[in-house]
Amino acid sequence: MFNPRLQAEKLPLTRRTNLVTDSQPELEIEGSTYRTDPWTNVPQSILSLIPRRLHLQPSHPVSLTRELIESRFPSPTYIHHNDLSAVVTVAQNFDSLGFPADHPGRNRSDTYYINQDTVLRTHTSAHEADIFRQNASEGYTISADVYRRDAVDRSHYPVFHQMEGARMWDRGKVPGGDIAKAVRDDLARMPKHDLEVEDPNPTVDPERNPLQAKHHSLEEVEAVAAHLKRSLEGVVVELFSKAKQAAAAANGPDPSIQEEPLKVRWVEAYFPFTSPSWELEVFWQGDWLEILGCGVTKQDLYINADIPNHIGWAFGVGLERVAMLLFSIPDIRLFWSRDKRFLSQFTTVDNINRYKSFSKHPACYKDVAFWLRSSSSSAGGGLRSNAQDFHENDVMEIVRIIGGDLVEDVRLVDEFQHPVSGRKSLCYRINYRSLERTMTNEEANEMHESVRGELVKKLGVELR
């Protein structure tokens, strides 16, 4: 009978048995050594993914998506940063961007800590201040793997890839210090498109989308916003023209896609690092889909990076989200597959193919129900001691560590509070399913028993 432990090297979507690393005095990550402490919560299974760098893997869907977007931001105006270290300081990841001390993103429930002062980056913006400070180009993109403790389902993974981009103008370098004219001149040189655009709102609104009036004039911001929107509309044309071609190649002319006009709309939004801000949505296969977020960069970021005379825009996009649309990939776990049946389907940016399923294997559902601790006694030795401290991401992390890519999703299916004792009970349903082979019930049972045991050991819960 197939033994997942013996076949781990051959099976890319496999079970992971490495649990927490905080019992080790040191961690070695890509040639550097880091001390551990009580903040350490990154499992070896996550550390093992750092060298993969899917955004740089030739012919990989994530890498091809990156290349397509980068093609709209040519050198020498833009420098592309693609190989920055995933290990950053807390100061880089949070402090440099103005995250308040009580921001939930700083919690161990959300972020992988190597130690109290060092994390695996949770966003590409961890490098933003350093690149602004270098001031080596008028624009840049950063593409990188980022790490977050999150839900387990077909669209979430603890490692994913982001791209952010920025364009800046220096008041001290543009003729006469006239930022608005300099931006408009750049805009006039940019390629035009015939995309249908809905943009019903004014550039700024004092309540919904405020001007940074202390630093920018309305004329400057309107020019920067127009440049930003034209730039990102060009990205949509590049990506979704390819997607239409791929759909036609896979299925023949599809009137629902081929005759559907490509159109976008700009929606007012809030982001902590830009103002005014927008989300860009694309009408695709009968529905509006959010693609990215963007806006006029907060001036404090430039001031803190010692380039206070700059003004510009920035955007951020999830590469997996776009790649799943572009290549019709239904499950985010597939991006991490080493199976040639998956990887061989993709070649170059000039030949975008829709994903063709090479297998469909049955699901294996298992439930786990437990009472949360009602006191903070030390019994159980868990990461969290009681119902108030419980965080669902801890459950997700335990399941991921044990089941790895053999778990498709984890859902809360029932919760109950005892009317007398006040104790709270939760029931989670775990779907064990491989993308590459049929799992046995024995395999699923073995993993599930390990999950149950770790929930007791790490969270101090009482199984029902």
Name the residue with higher pLDDT: 224 or 380. Answer: 224
pLDDT-derived band at 249, boundaries 50, 70, 90: confident
Measured CA angle at 201 (ends 303, 174), to 5 deg = 35
**Phi, psi angles (nearest 5°) of residue 53:** 45, 65
Q: How confident is the model at residue 382 (pLDDT cuts 50, 70, 90)?
A: very low
| pLDDT over 80 (residue 434) | yes
Q: Per residue in 134-184, pLDDT tens?
A: 999 999 999 999 999 999 999 999 999 999 999 999 999 999 999 999 999
What pLDDT band is residue 297 in, cutting at 50, 70 and 90?
Answer: very high
Please compute the mean of the pLDDT values over residues 240-249 and round it to a whole number. Answer: 83
Binning pLDDT at 50, 70 and 90, where does residue 392 land? Answer: very high
* pLDDT of 450 above 90: yes
**CB-based contacts of 383: which residues, under 8 Å, 6+ apart?**
41, 394, 458, 459
Place 246 in a pLDDT band, splitting at 50, 70 and 90.
confident
- What's the pLDDT score for residue 244? 85
**Res 266 pLDDT > 80:** yes
Cβ atoms 427, 378 nearer than 8 A: no
Q: What average pLDDT does range 382-393 have in this prediction? A: 63
How many CA atoms are closer than 13 Å to the CA of 58, on its beta-carbon side? 0
Query: Dihedral of CA 202/206/211/217: which sign?
Result: positive
pLDDT for residue 464 is more than 70:
yes
Instruction: Mean pLDDT check: name the lowest of 77-86, 332-341, 376-385.
Output: 376-385
Do the beta carbons of residue 382 and residue 375 sit within 8 Å? no
- Average pLDDT score over residue span 49-55: 97
The CA distance from 441 to 148, in Å, is 30
Mean local confidence (pLDDT), 389-403:
93
Query: Tokens 């690149």 — which residue?
Result: 131
Contact 136, 75 (CB under 8 A): no
Look up the pTM and report it. 0.88
CB 223 within 8 A of CB 169: no
- Interatomic CA distance for residues 420 and 396, integer angstroms: 29
- pLDDT attached to residue 285: 85
Report residue 383's pLDDT band, with 50, 70 and 90 as the boundaries: very low
Average pLDDT, the chain: 89
Asked if residue 330 has pLDDT above 70, the reply is yes
User: What proportion of the chain, given as a percentage, has pLDDT over 70?
Assistant: 90
Q: For a pLDDT cut of 90, what percent of the chain falls above it?
A: 78
The mean pLDDT of 89-108, rounded to a whole number, is: 92
pLDDT at 7 exceeding the cut of 80: no
HEC readout, 121-154: CCCHHHHHHHHHHHCCCCEEEEEEEEECCCCCEC
Model confidence at 252, in pLDDT bands (50, 70, 90)?
low
Measure the CA–CA gap between 238 and 249, rounded to whole angstroms. Answer: 17
Q: At residue 390, what is the residue type?
A: F
Q: Give CA separation, 367 vs 427, 428, 431, 448, in Å.
A: 7, 6, 9, 9
SS3 track for the chain: CCCCCCCCCCCCCCCCCCCCCCCCCEEEECCEEEECCCCCCCCHHHHCCHHHCHHHCCCCHHHHHHHHHHCCCCCCCEEEECCCCCEEEHHHHCHHHCCCCCCHHHCCCCCCEEECCEEECCCHHHHHHHHHHHCCCCEEEEEEEEECCCCCECCECCEEEEEEEEEEEECCCCHHHCHHHHHHHHHHHCCCCCCEEECCCCCCECCCECCCCCCCCHHHHHHHHHHHHHHHHHHHHHHHHHHHHHHHHHHCCCHHHHCCCCEEEEEEEEECCEEEEEEEEEEECCEEEEEEEEEEECHHHHHHCCCCCEEEEEEEEEHHHHHHHHHCCCCHHHHHCCCHHHHCCCCCCCCCCCCCCCCCCCCEEEEEEEECCCCCCCCCCCCCCCCCCCCHHHHHHHHHHHHHHHEEEEEEEEEEECCCCCCEEEEEEEEECCCCCCCCHHHHHHHHHHHHHHHHHHHCCEEC
Tokens 């070896």 locate to 44
Does pLDDT of 14 surpass 80? no
d(CA 15, CA 298): 43
For the segment 114-126, what is each residue's pLDDT rounded down to a tens digit? 999 999 999 999 9
